[in-house]
Structures are given as structure tokens and as C-alpha cells.
Amino acid sequence: MLTGSWVHNSDTSMSLISMSDLGGQLIRHRLIEPSQLETCLADLPVSLDDSARLLEELEKRSLLTSYQARQIVKGEIEGLILGDYKLMYRNAAGSFARVFRACSLKDGRMVGLKLLRRRWANDPQIVSLFFHEAEVGKRLVHPNIVPIYSIETDRNFHFLTMEFIEGGNLRDFLAIRQKMSPIESIRCALDICEGLNYAIRQGITHRDLKLTNVLMSSQGVAKLVDFGLATIEGTQLARSDSFQRALEYGTLEKGTNAPTNDPRSDLYFLGTILYELLTGIPPYPRTNDRDSRRQTSRYANIRPIRTIDPNIARSVEDIVERLLKFDPKQRFQSAAETIASLRYALKDLGASPDRPNSSSSTVLSQPETVPQNSRSGPASQSTSGTIMFVESRGKLQEQLRNHFNKHGFRVLVISDLRRGLARYKNNPPDCTIILSETIADDAESIASELGEISENSPFAGVIVFSSQHCHLQELFQNIPQLRLLEQPITLGRLRKVVDALLESRTPGGDAANHRLL
């Protein structure tokens, strides 16, 4: 946070700035409304003229995000508003572009915003290629492909807007979960393959299929991003040391004498994704070293998946092994053929090849809208209650905070459970959510402490158990107003459980079932 009243920005250039001047800049740049500033100033001491304190207060009230506050301190206030979009958080960054969660200033829609990096902004060829890739993606309208809404330039900022996917990419997902169940993995691969099959029918291959280019929605639907690389193969941009994308594709095709832009190359890299989803281990070591990535042996000598998981179903093993055949003639020859095998594998695993609600993926293509009373800030000022999360992993902390803030909750995140439980003596939260990794080493003692708290204080809580810790559930089953959940679970599902739990505590509320799986 700021110290003192020193703020560097494009208007003041490291000069001392008053609260009113800072407030004026924030209003002029459409980051806050005048009424919000007035309310905030009214609650600060009259004698105080500290812009750092004002910025802290705006962030505390969720009128500015932590990302926005940091950018203001760095003097990047003008870059927080691009066209009619307000940048809220930075979600991802690469050598080519950065991806943000952004809010429409017109109607409150939440969108993903992909911004070309500044070092490329004055290169006409690269700007043209960026927009060409965006145009390619804009032509693709499918439930398993992230839709692109607009392609825009504001001043010297070049960006596109797309559907905001709340759940994050598959690499982030695996960092939390380690691996997926076979049914989840095959269903995810099926989603990816459906998207690939549609794109190939439009004459477009992906050319950069990897975990970070597959987003998993909060409804559990996998969606592809970043199409269009096939159209820049062989250009100066593709050869640039600063722009290293799809090197694996070129190495694979050169080593197997396959044609450039071969659709079967996408299927090979689908195999690498499926391999890691099932095992939690990449099929070959990740590296940024270009020479290592150019070694064909890296892609030809992959350890058989059964040596990692000897219990893997034969139907699943066959799909992985065939996708990862080094010789493209031995792989599946089309996405459609792969889809048929994936659907058979789901049946073999005892699951339906169709989703329980087949229409849900259609809804996902619609932009998320922020409630009317929260469009001037990242969260509504009338909250649904205070939630305390016990979680130590920074990435997951941010995901939990973003999701529940957006839905009107005040969020506290701590990594030390016992410090959090001490709050129940003086200022208890409305609900406490605990991930089992934080209690696994001392579960019996914590269960006893939670039991005592529930007897002496208003208490509502949820424990989310990973597959490794499900055996601990019996310790917590007799604690009133504590819900026990098992992964996998989406953020949307978790929020619904919290809503039901809080509603059951209100007069006349229906008591929810104790155990929700």
C-alpha cells in the first residue's frame, strides 16, 4: 500500500498529491463515481489529507481492487481504462500479451480482456498479426471455444475482449487438484476435442494446445483459447526469440515428416494434456530451453502411462497411447474419430457421454453481468455476509476472493486456522470455509475445537475434502451447521452450499442436510 501521500502518476509525476486531487483523477478516469468518493471522504477524519489513506479506504470498500491500487501507485492510472472497459485484475501474462478480468463501463458485463504488450504496440506487423489472430478466433462460435466479442484500439493500446471464464486454466486447476479422476479427464478431453473438431471443419487448427490454453469454467466445461497460430507460421514474428510459441508443433512435424499445420498435431498435444490430467505428471519435462524443445526424442520416448498408473482402464490407456504415437499415421486420424473413442471410454467407466444438462454449455457463451448495484466497483456494497477462508495457496486465495467478492460477500482469507478460529470469541464471520489440506496434520484436535465453537458461538462452516483426505470426514460429522463436501466441486456449487447454509440459520429457514456430496 502507499506510504505517506506520495503518488506517482501521469498527471503529477511524483509530486505530493492531496486526497481531493487523487479523487478527482479517479473520477476523471471513470474508476469511481463522485458519490462513492463523497461517501468515502465523509468517513475519514476532517483533518486528514492523506491520499494513501484514501486509496486504502477505497480498496477496503471494494471500490478499487488491489491490482488497481498498485497500478495507481505506479503511475499507470490511464491504462486501467481501455475503451469502455475497466481492468479489475490481471489473470495471466505471456511474452506476447496479458489477459485481464475487466468490467464493461456501459452495462457491467464481466469480460476477459487480452492486451498486446507495449513492446509490440508500435510494430505494425505484430499489431496486424494480433488482430488477424483475433479475427480468426472471432469466427469460431462453439460451446467449447471461448468466444471473442470485440477487437479494439484505444490510444496505443491494442486489445480484444472475450468471455470471462471464472474457473481458470487447466494448469492452475492441476496445481490445486494434482490430477483429475479418469471420468473428469476423459470428459475434459472430450470437450477439447469437440472444440477442435468444430475448428478443423472451419479450416482452422489450434497450433498451441497446452494446459494454459484450456480454460475450465465454474460449471466444469473445458473451453479452448488462443486460436489462429497456424496463420502466422513462417513469419518474422513466429521466428522471434521474444515470441516463442508452438515450437513443439514444428519439431514434431519436422521429425515425423508430417505436413505443416497437420490437424493430427493438435491431437498429439491433446494426448499430452490428457496424460497429465490422469497422472498429474507431464509426459515430458517442461523447459524454456529452445534446444531441448527441438529434440524429437522428447516427443518420441514418452513413458507409457500404465507404468505410472497400473490401474488405469484399458479403454483410457488405449486413447492416451494412440494420441501420443510419434508417427502421425498411427494416431487418431481426425478429431471426430477421437470423439467416438472418448465417448466409448466414458461408457466403459460407467458415465454418460452426455452432460447431465446438455444445454448448460450454451449458457456459458453469454457474458457474465455484474449486478446493477455493483457496477461502479468490483463488488456490491450490500454484502451477503462475511466469509472466512482458511487456505495458504496464493493463487487459490485470489480465485476464492474474486468469486465471492463478486457475488456480494465480504471475504477474509487466512492461512492459519487457529488464528482464524480465535475470531469467534469477538467477531465471528458468518461462514468459515476450510480446505482439508490445512487441517490434515491435526484433524482430530481441530474437530474437537470446532465442536466447542459450535456449542458456544454462532457458527456455520464448510470443509472441502480432497480425495486424499476423505477418510477424515468421520471426525467432523457430528458438528452442527458444518457441511462436508468432496472435490471435485466448482466455485459456483460451493457458493450455493454457503447460501443454503446461511439461509438455514435465518428465522424460518429450512435446515439443510448435514452432509452434501
**What was the pLDDT predicted at 365?**
31
pLDDT above 80: residue 44: no
Is the Cβ–Cβ distance between 42 and 56 less than 8 Å? no
**What average pLDDT is seen over the chain?**
79
**What was the pLDDT predicted at 426?**
67
Of the listed ranges 306-320, 377-391, 456-470, the least confidently predicted one is 377-391
Whether residues 347 and 280 fall in one domain? yes
Give the start-end residues of each E strand in 337-430: 368-369, 385-390, 409-414
Between CA 228 and CA 206 the distance in angstroms is 6
In a domain, 377, yes or no: no
**What was the pLDDT predicted at 49?**
59
Residue with cell 489513506: 53
* DSSP reduced 3-state for 103: strand
Give the start-end residues of each E strand in 366-477: 368-369, 385-390, 409-414, 431-435, 461-465
**What was the pLDDT predicted at 356?**
56
Whether residues 408 and 493 fall in one domain? yes
Between CA 420 and CA 428 the distance in angstroms is 9
Of the listed ranges 211-225, 305-319, 443-457, the least confidently predicted one is 443-457
pLDDT above 70: residue 42: yes
**What was the pLDDT predicted at 333?**
92
Residue with cell 483410457: 316
In a domain, 124, yes or no: no
Whether residues 192 and 325 fall in one domain? yes
Average pLDDT estimate for 72-99: 87
In a domain, 375, yes or no: no
Whether residues 387 and 468 fall in one domain? yes
Is the Cβ–Cβ distance between 312 and 306 less than 8 Å? yes
Higher pLDDT, 216 or 233: 216
pLDDT above 60: residue 515: no
Whether residues 220 and 287 fall in one domain? yes
Average pLDDT estimate for 90-110: 86
**Position 506 confidence tier, pLDDT thresholds 50, 70, 90:** low
**What was the pLDDT predicted at 228?**
59
Of the listed ranges 112-121, 297-306, 342-351, 494-503, the least confidently predicted one is 494-503
pLDDT by residue (tens digit) across 407-444? 778 888 877 777 777 777 667 888 899 988 888 778 88
**What was the pLDDT predicted at 270?**
95
In a domain, 200, yes or no: yes
In a domain, 144, yes or no: no
Whether residues 14 and 68 fall in one domain? yes
Average pLDDT estimate for 88-117: 88
Partnered with residue 368 across adjacent β-strands are: 110
Q: Is the pTM of this model over 0.75?
A: no
- Distances in Å between the Cα of 190 and the Cα atoms of 277, 326, 354 are 13, 21, 10
In a domain, 12, yes or no: yes
Whether residues 407 and 283 fall in one domain? no
Whether residues 53 and 196 fall in one domain? no
Whether residues 209 and 254 fall in one domain? yes
41: left (phi over 0), alpha (psi -120 to 50) or beta: alpha
**What was the pLDDT predicted at 96?**
79
Is the Cβ–Cβ distance between 308 and 299 less than 8 Å? no
End-of-domain residue from the set 44, 61, 80:
80
Whether residues 353 and 256 fall in one domain? yes
H runs (alpha helix) in 304-457: 314-323, 335-348, 360-363, 394-406, 417-421, 443-456
Q: Provide the CATH number for the domain around residue 490.
A: 3.40.50.2300
Q: Provide the CATH number for the domain around residue 199.
A: 1.10.510.10
Higher pLDDT, 500 or 166: 500
Average pLDDT estimate for 303-329: 93
Residue range(s) defining the domain that contains residue 265: 182-225+237-360
**What was the pLDDT predicted at 357?**
47
3-state helix, strand, coil in the chain (%, to 5): 45, 15, 40
Higher pLDDT, 195 or 441: 195
- The structural domain count of the chain equals 3
pLDDT by residue (tens digit) across 178-193? 888 999 999 999 999 9
Whether residues 354 and 435 fall in one domain? no
In a domain, 494, yes or no: yes
Higher pLDDT, 361 or 136: 136
pLDDT above 80: residue 315: yes
End-of-domain residue from the set 50, 80, 110:
80
**What was the pLDDT predicted at 215?**
92
Is the Cβ–Cβ distance between 377 and 36 less than 8 Å? yes
Whether residues 418 and 481 fall in one domain? yes
In a domain, 371, yes or no: no
DSSP state of 169: B
* DSSP reduced 3-state for 238: helix
How wide is the angle at C-alpha 173 spanned by C-alphas 91 and 483, nearest 5°? 110
pLDDT above 50: residue 30: yes
Looking at residue 349, its amino acid is L
Between CA 134 and CA 112 the distance in angstroms is 13
